[in-house]
Structures are given as C-alpha cells and as structure tokens.
Amino acid sequence: MVRDLVMPKLGLTMTEGVLAEWRVSPGQPFKTGDVLVVVETDKIASEVEADSDGVLIETTIPVGETVAVGTPIARWSADGSGAAPAPVNGTASPAVEAPAPPAKAAPKTGPLPAPLRDGERVLSTPLARRRAQDLGVDLTTLTGSGPRGRIKMADVEAAAQRPVSTPAPVSEPALSPVAALAGERSKPTTMQATIARRLTAAKRDVPHFYLAAEAEVSELMALREKLNADAEPGSPRVSMTHLVLAAVGRALAATPDVDRVWDDSTPGGEILSLGRGDIGMAVDTPRGLVAPVLRGGARLPLDRLARDAAALTERARNGRLSAEDFEGGAITVSNAGMHNVTFMTSIINPGQSSILGVGSVRSVFRPDESGAPVLKRELGLVLSADHRLFDGVAALAFLNRIIAGLERPLRLLRTA
C-alpha cells in the first residue's frame, strides 16, 4: 500500500519547515531508523528517521522549498509496490524538481500581491532570506510568488538577474584566502552548516560586549562534594554546570529585565520580555555543539534542576532533541571548565541576549587584608551581552548576582 510521508511537526510552535536534503532516493529501500530527510526550521536542522521499513517511491517536494506541517513531501510503501521500474540502461534519470501540490500553487490569473512596504512584515522563506543576503537583494522591493505573497528563493534569484538602469560600480569580489589552497575538501554536515550560518549572522548583527570576572568557589566545591556524598542512590550527581545554572537562574529570577530578547523582524525592532526563566545549556555531542533550553531553570530547586539538566544532556548526546527543545530562553551557559581554560568568550546564540562562558577552577594565592597570601579556588566567568538590551551597569549587576550565588552557595539551595 502506498502511503504519504508528510512534513513532521518538530516543535509546538512549528508551522512550516524547509526541506533541506533528501537522504534516500526514489526506488531506494530503507530500514527503521534510517534518516530519510533533513528538515530545517529557523532553530535547527533535524534528521527525520523512518519508523518502519519500506521503499521510497517518489519525492513530491524539491529541496529548498518551505512546506507547511502535514503537507505530503514523498510517497512510500512497505513492500515497494507502486515504485517506478528502474531504467533499462541501469542509469538513474536526472532529478527533476517536483511541482508543489495544486493547493499550494500560485494562481495563474488575477493581480499579484503588491510588494511589501516599510511597516509591514516581509513574508519570505528562510532560504529566500539567506539567498537575498548573499546576493544583496532588498526583499522589501520584491513581489512574492508564494502563498499570501511569500517571497521564495526563486523570486530572489530572478530579481538578482534582472538588469538595473543605472548599476552602481561593483568591486571585484575578494578571493577567499583558502580558495587556492591544496588539501582534502568536504562538505559540512547540515548541522555544521546551520551552526556556521547562524553564529556568523549573530556575531555580525548583534553588538556584543563582554565582562570578565572571577568567583571564589571554595565553599561551592565543598557543598558539591557534600551533596553528592549524601545523594540518594540513582539520583544524578550535581556537577559544576548544574551549580552555575542554579546561580544564573537565581540571578535571572532576581533581575527579570535580563529575561528579554531583541526581535528585529519588524522595522526598528522590538524588545520581547519572556519572563519564563528558561536557560540554555551548551552540550557537546558527537554531531557538534548544541544548546537546548532548560525549562523554568530559574525557578527549579537544585535537585530537580540537576535531574532535568542531566536528562536534557542525555537526549542531546543521543540525538533525540526536537525543535521545541531549542525554543525560548534569553541566556545560555557554556561550561568549558573540563578543558582546562581560564576564560572563554562566547558568541551569543541567535534569538538570545546573553551567554555566560565558564572556565576551569584555578588554585591561586591572593593577599588577605594584612597582605598574607591565602590560597583561593577561583572560577573564571565571561558574560557576553547584547548592547541593544544591556548597558554596562545592568550587565555588571547581573554578573555580580551570579557571582554572589556561587560564592554564597547555600543560596542555591533555596527556590527562587
């Protein structure tokens, strides 16, 4: 029996996704757990796995198209029935872009929607926005051919090829410094390409500034040792990351103005107050670094925070995160302390307003009030903040609250 493969809903707020890559070709069999297709949202690229064995009959949506959740994107069957016979000469026919389903096709007659003006939100696909940035095309001057006038990548490329009456002088593009170098080349994975694109945009478009400080954590280390010694069997061990998350959470609850992000999807931008106390946490996985969001981390008691963070880390390393796991949060904690670095300056994650880079604990001698050397255990911290939302005083106050929680760790045992 032939069945439809539909665009999956990868998160509660997901309404559409970009079909980024087919991993299975028409006529090719697949097994349960095989990756069929890569779907990209504005948050992540997700691999969609088969939940049963079968054969892909045909793809109905080409790569690069934005598709609403629930829309059929391919046809498959469990036994291969309905599949087109292989070509007699044994060569695969060239891939042809499948037309969009009739319900999604643009009308052939009637007036096209007018170009969007200032003050209106530009409806465009993620690939169109990316291509427009690459080609220097102003989306507000285009007429979209998609539903409700949505601008598609083809619209952008067509606009880039149209001659203009008075072209401005264009300088020769600079040759990449590595373009002529010899060596083995490979394409980045979908996740690597997504991370590269998003962080490049964040570093370019967000005005970062940085504050560095050290926290004296002798009491914190002693508390951690005691908590783990007294822990119930089977409960997760409290890590330094958990304690830093708790300190950030308490500081976030005490300064709710920090729980805000900048939304530049409208002309002039808007400030969005989240107020949920969600905290991102960077996790190193075999597929690359990801930063899922710990829900309500600012209000969780320490034992619950440790359990939830440990479960989130396990899902991340097993590749079981959904798009929903990346939604929300104004701040991320990135702990590099296990790699023996003193300080780490981080790039703010797209859609957030700050990130705390955490270094390793160092034993150093500091003079006391009388000038005598005293052995201290210090943790290096660097807060990267968005200058559109923070001034130096506000960012410093937030960082000092985090340090206070780390240096007086009994506060972390209280719920916010």
Residue 39 burial (10 A CB sphere; 0-12, 13-18, 19+): buried
End-to-end distance of the chain based on CA atoms, in angstroms? 55
Using a 10 angstrom Cβ sphere, with 0-12 exposed, 13-18 middle and 19 or more buried, the burial of residue 340 is exposed
Active-site pick, 208, 242, 339, 387: 387
Contacts of 233 (CB under 8 A, 6+ apart): none
Question: Cα separation of 313 and 291, whole Å?
Answer: 10
Nearest to 262 by CA among 94, 140, 388, 95: 388
For 182, the token pair is: 């010899």
CA 47 – CA 33 distance, rounded (Å): 10
User: Cα separation of 230 and 390, whole Å?
Assistant: 40
| Greatest extent of the chain over all pairs of C-alpha atoms, in Å | 91
Answer yes or no: 387 catalytic: yes
Rounded Cα distance between 355 and 385, Å, is: 7
Angstrom distance (rounded) from CA 328 to CA 295: 9
* Residue positions annotated with a catalytic role: 387
